[in-house]
Structure formats: structure tokens, C-alpha cells
Chain A
């Protein structure tokens, strides 16, 4: 049995009066890729944003229940929210380079922490870019604007930027939603290497992507967890009719 990295217990989430996640409980195992599958507006983005408390930024939002990271409640006052976000990094659904150079984008999180030497930062940045399979593309362009990269390169840059934090968990919210098939393939490829060092939670942009990249799949519909199971089981033998309908393309 794999080690439980994140444990979500009875999570309810509200935007004002509207409830978008209903009594959701599930575990995320270490060094695995968990795919959160479901149609749009199922609360998957909200769920991801709950795991690193980005949802704190939304004024009318309210979260009930517990989210445990290595057994510790991430909403406990002793857990610093910036510390948490370094441990649980996020990649967004559209490429979001900051208006900085390629290098400064990846170094952003490191520089915020302070106390790192230039050489250390340089080394970490290079390692992160290599892990995101972007080094050959940008090694001569580190001083150029990150906005000059192509969409696929920008998204890998965002992954490198998250990796540079040396996180434990990486959350990917439809990371290939705006990318072409070749860029998508490159990112999926790097996911397989990433899970050796990290725990990955991904909201895939298609059923096929979930099938290709994940170890386990959670099917979520209208903010409810319908079922969660290992990849092979859920695609071969879904327990719930709705899961079956969704993965066979009958709706969604």
C-alpha cells in the first residue's frame, strides 16, 4: 500500500450560497499520478485550488472539512500558507509566464525565499528546466522574455517554475488544454519521470489523457466523487453507470 500524501476528508466547498463540492473524501498516494476526471464545472479546479489554498484568495468562498498533507491539516494556523504553496505547487490551465525573462520566471519562487546564493539559484533553475524537458529549447534564450516562447514551451516553463520550488506535490489543472498534440505528448512524457520524485495530481483535458498518464483515476461529477480506482480497473470495469457513460463518451 502506497503512502498517503494528501488526504481529503469530507470536503464541502461553497461560493457564496452555491455549493460546488459535496462531502468529498479521497486519498492521493505518493509517487503516483492521480487524474481527476469529470466534465467541466464539476468542481475539479476548485478541488485542486483547495489543496494548496489558492482558494483562500476568493473572498466569498468557504471550505469545510479537512485536507491533510502528510497527516497535517493544511488549514492549521501553524502551517504557513506560503510554505504550503511551495510544497504543493500548481500549474494552470493556460500558459502563464510572468512578464519576466525565462530565467527569472523559473527563479521567481527561489528568489522570494531569499538566502540562496546565485550559484545555487542558477543550478536549481537549470535542473528544473531540464526536468521539464525544456532545456534544449531555451538554454540559449534564458535572458529573453518568457513571452517570446511558444505556447507549449511556455507551459513547460510553468512546469519548470513549479519544479524549481522543489515541491512534494504538483497540481496540474488541464495543463494541455491550450496546446497542440506534439507539445501535449512532450508534457505527458515528462509526467512519467516526474512521478518518481513527486506526487502528481492532474485534471486531464480528456478521458484519453487520463487513460494515458494516470495511475489512479477519480471520477467527479457535479462536485461529488463518483468513484476512485486504479487506472486499469476504472477503464476496464467501472463500478458506476455514470463513470461508464462518461468514459465511453456517452456524455461530457
Chain B
């Protein structure tokens, strides 16, 4: 190897290493900074008390419930439709005009800024369907927002399952649905769950779309038709209005912890239920 080539090799290695390290360092810095400011704020009363005096005092319990409720509604609606669409696209049709339209629609939806979903949700669910600012309106809006992500990640996961496994299943006397449900979906499960996790993260973190559709009340929601404030919205309002930076950091730290916990939890569950047979 000539010295020139060796120098090139070393340079490439160095640049790639720097890129990786700077990304990692930034990420770690952000997370550590927020946790260091936020964790001291988090306490049992912070988690269980309703915010008082606009969030300056008290805890954030109602916003935790708000985040949870809105996210659950969105996931419960978007995941079955999304996975169903993905199965249809990947297994039940050939490439055609219709699949192109579906895929084009999904991709267009993915490119729309969340505030536009918020506006749509506000006009359609809150006003036109008269659902008002409510968990239901917020959840439905988020469902539309994450649908493309669920469809695309699931479709990719399903398409990633080797074709030969389908042939094996058919050769053993399976029909289409047996093949899809017993071989393809279990093999694609990890990819599908990753897409759902990504979607949960986006729901929990979403601010604009939720504020326009679920409202920003601090009261504890008592039904799907009640308005609610999510943690992300709470954090935004606390910081934006300068109400309590301290509590804002506490909320942000909890947001990070929740997303982290969901990821770890889902992976543990996957490992427990999916290791058998792979």
C-alpha cells in the first residue's frame, strides 16, 4: 500500500469517527443536561398532584394522564388500520394504480407538518363533528398523523421477510391468510413493533397538533370527551409563558424517561415472547 493510500484510509477513518462521536456527544449532552435540571424536580408529589396556579405549583399528574390517554387512543386506532393497510399493500395486491395511490397518499401524509394536522383536527373533529377539545379529538388527529409511519415501517418489515418462507408455508398446504398470520407477521413483528414505538414517541412528543385538538386544560380528564393537556403541551406552555422553568425541566425529564422506558419495555417484551423459535 502506498503512503498516499494509507493516508487516505486514516483520514476517512478519522472523519467517520468524528461524525459518530459528535452525534453521540450531542445526544448525550442534551439528555444529561435535561435530566440534571429535571430529575431533582421529580418527586412523588410532582407525579401525583394536579398542577396548581397554572403549573407554577403542584405536580403534573393530569398532564401525564392526558399524554397517556391521547397516545392510547391514537395507537389503538392507527395501528390496526396501519398494519392492515401494510399487509394489503405487501401481500394481497400486485403493484398497480391503486397501490400507487395508497402509497402516494401515505407518503404525502407523512410530509405534512403536524400543525396542519392540528388545524385539520380542529376544523374536522373539534368543530365539524362537534367533539370539542377532547382526548378523542386529539387522539384521532394523532392517529392520522402517525398512520403513514405505521404503514411504511410495517410494509417494509413485511417485505423484508424472505420470499422462500412464504413458499415453504404454501408448500406445506397453507393458504394465504395462514401464511401471513403464522409466518410472515411473526417474522416481521420486530420491525412492526419498532414502527409502533416510533409512533408512540411521536404521539407523546407532539405539541402543536394536540394543543389545537385536545385543548390545554389543567383539570384531570374524566372521559374521552374531556379536554386534556399533555406533558409536551404543558412543557411548552410552562417554558413559553415563563411560568416555571423548573417544572418545565421536570416535565421534560419525565418525557425522556417515559420514552426511554417504553423502548426498553417493548424490547424486553419482544425478547421474551419472540425468542422462542428464532
Contact = CB atoms under 8 A, between A and B. Distances in A.
A113 B169 contact: no
Contacts of B275: 145
B167 A59 contact: no
A161 B172 contact: yes
B167 A54 contact: yes
Contacts of A101: 276-277
A92 B172 contact: no
A35 interface: no
A104 B164 contact: no
Interface residues of B, number: 22
A94 interface: yes
Interface in B151-207: 164-175, 178, 182-183, 186-187
A162 B171 CA distance: 9
B278 A99 contact: yes
Size category of the binding interface on chain A: 20 to 34
B91 to A, nearest CB: 12
A50 interface: no
Interface in B263-278: 275-278
Nearest to B165: A98
Nearest to B171: A90
B6 interface: no
B167 A92 contact: yes
B7 interface: no
A52 to B, nearest CB: 7
Contacts of A54: 167, 170-171
B173 A146 contact: no
A99 B186 CA distance: 8
A236 interface: no
Given A96-B165, A101-B276, 4 more contacts: A145-B278, A147-B278, A162-B171, A165-B173
Closest 9 CB pairs of A and B: A109-B172, A100-B277, A90-B171, A86-B173, A82-B173, A99-B278, A101-B277, A96-B168, A85-B173
Interface of B: 94, 164-175, 178, 182-183, 186-187, 275-278
22 contacts: A57-B167, A82-B175, A85-B171, A85-B173, A89-B171, A89-B172, A92-B167, A96-B164, A96-B167, A96-B168, A98-B165, A98-B277, A99-B187, A100-B277, A101-B277, A108-B169, A112-B178, A145-B276, A145-B277, A145-B278, A158-B168, A161-B172
